[in-house]
Structures are given as C-alpha cells and as structure tokens.
Amino acid sequence: MESFVVEGGRRLEGSLRVDGAKNAALPILAACVLTEDEVTLHGMPDITDVHRMTDILCMLGCSVQREGHDMVVSGREMCRSEMPDGLSKQIRSSIFMLGPILSRFRQATVTYPGGCEIGMRPIDLHLSGLRALGVAVQEEGGVIHCDGAAMHAGEVHLDYPSVGATENVMMAAATLPGETVIHNAAREPEVADLAAFMNACGARVAGAGSAVITVTGVRRLHGAAYTPMADRIVAGTLLAAAAITGGDVCLTGAPAGHMHAINAKLREMGCDVAEDADVIRLTSPVRLRAFPLLQTQPHPGFPTDMQAQMLALLTTAQGTGVVVENVFENRFTHAGEMNRMGARILCAGRTAIVHGVSRLTGAQVTARDLRGGAALVLAGLAAEGETRVDNAAIIDRGYERLERQLSALGAEIRREHAL
Ligand code: UD1
C-alpha cells in the first residue's frame, strides 16, 4: 500500500497547468468504440481510472496506444460485446460502455459496476433510458444482458439528471435512425464535451449542456482527433490547496467558465479569485472565513466532487459552516478522519456542521474515496506536523501524481510505500 506523507505549514505559491478531465476522458474513451476508425486523443490524464478503462477497451478487442498524454484508439478489431467482469467491478465508468457497445453490436452484457464507496449508486436510470430506446434488459445474478435488436430512436425522460445515464443514452442513440430527445438531461460540462467529441466523429448531438439534448441518428461515425476539456475538479482542488495554506497560486489551462460555483464559494471565504480566459489566480487571506451554507447540486449547482475539499477548508476557517450533500447519500467518510486531526465536524445524515478550529494536527488517516482522500491531503497541508494519508491508490484514480503537482507549488509531500 502507498501513502502520502505531508509535512504541513508550507504556503503554496506558483503556477501550474491543469490536466485533462477524468470525467470527460472516461466517457470519451467509451465513445471511441462507436466508430471502427482510429481516434486520436490528446491531453489525456495519466490516472488509474483511465488505465482501467483502457484495459476494458483492450479486453473488448480494441487496440490502444499511449504515448505520454496522447492516445490512439482503434475499435476496428473489436469483437466482444461482453464486458470483462473483474474490471467492471473496479471502475464505475465501465457502465459507460453499455451505450456504445449496444450501438455497435445491438447487444451487450455487463456486470454491476464498482467505483467509490460514496453511496448505493444504482444504474436504474441508465437502464430505463435504454429501455425507452427499445432495449430489452434482463438482470440476473449481478449480470445485465441487453438485447438491442429492436432499438429505435425515441423520447427519454430521466427522473433525475444523472451524468452517466445522460451520456449512455446519448451514445446509444448516435446511430439510431431518427431523432432521440433526452429530457431532464444532466447539464455538466463533461456531457457537452462528450457531445463535442461525438460530433467531431460525425454524430449529430444538439443541446448538450442544457436540460434537453437531441440526438439525430447518423449511419456511421468516423475517426477524429480530440482534446478533452480541462479538469474543473482538479483545478478546484489545487485552488483549495492554495486557500488552505494562505497561498497565492495561478492555474493555466483552467476551465474557468465552468467553475463559477466553486470560485464563488472561495470568494465567500475571503479569497481573491481573478479569472482571465483560461487563467485563474487565487490569493488567500491569512485565515479563511466560513461560508454559512454549501449545498451540492447537479450542475450548475455546487459540484459534489468538490464537497470534501470545501469541508477541509472549513475545518480551519473562522466561524461555523454547514455543508449539505444532496447528490450522494454517503459522502462524509473524510469527516471522521479530519476529526482525528483535531477538526470539529458533526455529521447527521446528509448534513455536516463544521466549527472552525485554529489549528489541525498531523495524524495517520485513511482515504476512503477519491475526493475525500484529496481533501485529507489538503487538511494535511494545513496541519501542524506530519500527516500520513493511507490508501494513496484511491487518490491516483483521479489525480495525476498529486504529490508532484503540490510539490511544484511548494508543498512538502512525498509518496511512501508501506513497509
Ligand atoms: C458522475 C461523475 C462523478 C460525479 C457525479 C455527479 C463521471 C465518471 N463521474 O458520476 O465524478 O460525482 O457524476 O456529478 O463522470 N443515480 C441513480 N440511478 C442511476 C444513476 C445515478 O439513482 O441510474 C443516482 C446516484 O446514485 C447519485 C446521483 O444519481 O446519487 C448522481 O449520479 P450520476 O449523476 O449518475 O453520477 P455518475 O454518472 O455516476
């Protein structure tokens, strides 16, 4: 097992370029199988979730070449419509393969996906969306068989604007003759990025980024070269790291236009956040002040993937702040770990109340989910003494060598292998 060891108390300063977005890269990789032609992807984040997705593509018979942050994917030789069981359980995004495989083979078999332990994360919305397109779904023993022989374009209404379900239906509909309309679609910018990629491959997707998406089926998709959008959550995490250390950091290549909710909260805490095109500069006060309330919501509300990092900021802020997690039902596992560092957080159901303390102290803590793990690293940056965050692997799922990024800004952090 690997851990991050953080020596707290260093003020972060400097400039860093933001990586490509995990949540754009993963569905885009899945969408590569919509075409038999070669797809070239630039600026792909070097994170383990992308590695696992690549493994899945290879197991299905695709060829994937990677050089640095560039990837070339070819689905020409793809031969299987069954998802490998072990890998599906390791990564929730494996469910994204359902739509593209159905589009390609008109049948697909997947096992229930895995992912972070942040809630039940059912896939009923994915399945009901596909059923609305004429897919016959049979579930038995944790395996889902989808028969798409009678697939057709149609009207899909999602009971909740699920990001993954929206993306799956969009991909499944790409080659269905006629017009598919997705109502109550997720409005996350990564959904729009997937649509832009699909359109670069010849698909006809309109309205992505709004609550109504129209997919006009085309006969076939072709290859393309594409660069996924930058990661707003990685950017937000780095800004939060600067904020918790009283720092002054500049991010380049940042998706500033999609970070209003995050930047507004940072300003509420007393940070100066200046945006200029794709550059964001954050200057932090000596001590942050608590915001009264943060509620996570689907986009354009405050992103659940930044909740844990904001909770970390509250731990040492002046005053008391309340955080309500509306998207996932079990996303406060980091709170107990932060309390081991001297934080004062009370959790009840989906609500956390954080009383800011004047200092945290280093401790040995465990990362239990991706963003919660990153938040523990942030707490470590602000704590007195040494903090050891165990289970670094879960953080590597979504951050490319976080220790290097933070070190580049002046943090004292290293990766250690457990003895
Ligand atoms: C995506 C992101 C994840 C982010 C989340 C919410 C990727 C790879 N992951 O996950 O980082 O935290 O959006 O912004 O893009 N739900 C159901 N039934 C379903 C599907 C979802 O009840 O069929 C529920 C989930 O349990 C959850 C909520 O809907 O409570 C939101 O999930 P969803 O938007 O689907 O998130 P993901 O696509 O899994």
Peptide bond into 113 cis (omega under 30): no
Whether 200 and 134 map to the same domain: the answer is: yes
Distance 162 CA to ligand 1 centre (A): 5
User: What pLDDT digit, counting tens, does each position of 40-86 carry?
Assistant: 999 999 999 999 999 999 999 999 999 999 999 999 988 888 887 77
CA separation for the pair 140, 363 (Å, rounded): 45
Whether 360 and 217 map to the same domain: the answer is: no
- Distances in Å between the alpha carbon of 97 and those of 49, 53, 218, 331? 14, 9, 19, 26
Whether 343 and 409 map to the same domain: the answer is: yes
Whether 208 and 317 map to the same domain: the answer is: no
Are the C-beta atoms of 388 and 406 separated by less than 8 Å?
A: no
Whether 136 and 56 map to the same domain: the answer is: yes
- Single out the residue in 202, 226, 250 at which a domain terminates: 226
Task: Write down the pTM of the prediction.
Answer: 0.96
Distance 164 CA to ligand 1 centre (A): 6
Whether 196 and 153 map to the same domain: the answer is: yes
User: What pLDDT digit, counting tens, does each position of 264-323 carry?
Assistant: 999 999 999 999 999 999 999 999 999 999 999 999 999 999 999 999 999 999 999 999
Domain of residue 217: give its range. 22-226
- Single out the residue in 226, 243, 267 at which a domain terminates: 226
Dihedral sign, CA of 371, 377, 381, 382?
positive
Whether 36 and 161 map to the same domain: the answer is: yes
Whether 45 and 152 map to the same domain: the answer is: yes
Whether 8 and 83 map to the same domain: the answer is: no
* pLDDT value, residue 82: 85
CATH number of the domain that residue 406 is part of: 3.65.10.10
| Domains: count for the chain | 2
Whether 71 and 167 map to the same domain: the answer is: yes
Q: Which residues line ligand 1 (CB under 6 A)?
A: 23, 26, 92-93, 119-126, 160, 162-165, 186, 190, 304-305, 327-328
Distance 181 CA to ligand 1 centre (A): 20
- Single out the residue in 226, 243, 273 at which a domain terminates: 226
Q: What are the two backbone dihedrals, phi and then psi, of residue 189, each rounded to the nearest 5 degrees?
A: -60, -25
Whether 15 and 26 map to the same domain: the answer is: no
Whether 182 and 321 map to the same domain: the answer is: no
